[in-house]
């Protein structure tokens, strides 16, 4: 079976979101008067540039996953919810670095992406 780049990103995204859920759902149950804790998950996507069409598909998939995960968390009275924060990389290394810095400044610790290896090399340090 051959994986496409979009398929690999989807698998990584679901793995990251699943890890966040597993860590937050193990022992925490929401009480009536306690609002859920929000866990922000960042995503670096090429919403413009050469890979914009791929980024749009991944973006839709991640938002659908966010909705499904939060529905599950609410149904199980979990004490957390997931909030997806998407940043556009413009399909460039400089765009990815700027977007990653924005996520970091917003306190995001878990990030899905970026799409290209050149973007990844820019944010790796």
For the chain, the domains span 44-125
| Residue 74 predicted with pLDDT over 60 | yes
Average pLDDT over residues 47-76: 96
Q: Which SS3 state, helix, strand or coil, does residue 38 take? A: strand
pLDDT greater than 90 at residue 3: no
In CATH, 44-125 is 3.40.50.2300: yes
Q: Given this model, what pLDDT does residue 34 score?
A: 86
Mean pLDDT of 103-111: 95
The yes-or-no verdict on residue 37 having pLDDT over 70 is yes
Question: Crossing angle, helix 52-75 and helix 5-25, to 10 degrees?
Answer: 20
Beta-sheet pairing, 80-88 with 110-112: unpaired
Beta strands in 1-125 (DSSP E): 37-45, 80-88, 110-112
């Amino acid at each position: 079976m051959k994986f496409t780049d979009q398929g690999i990103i989807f698998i990584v995204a679901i793995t990251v979101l699943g890890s966040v859920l597993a860590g937050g759902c193990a022992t925490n149950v929401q009480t009536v008067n306690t609002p859920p804790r929000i866990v922000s998950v960042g995503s670096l996507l090429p919403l413009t540039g050469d890979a914009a069409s791929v980024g749009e598909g991944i973006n839709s998939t991640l938002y659908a996953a966010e909705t499904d995960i939060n529905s599950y968390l609410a149904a199980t009275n979990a004490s957390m919810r997931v909030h997806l924060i998407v940043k556009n990389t413009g399909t460039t290394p400089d765009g990815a670095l700027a977007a990653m810095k924005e996520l970091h400044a917003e306190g995001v610790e878990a990030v899905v992406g970026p799409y290209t290896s050149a973007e990844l090399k820019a944010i790796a340090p």
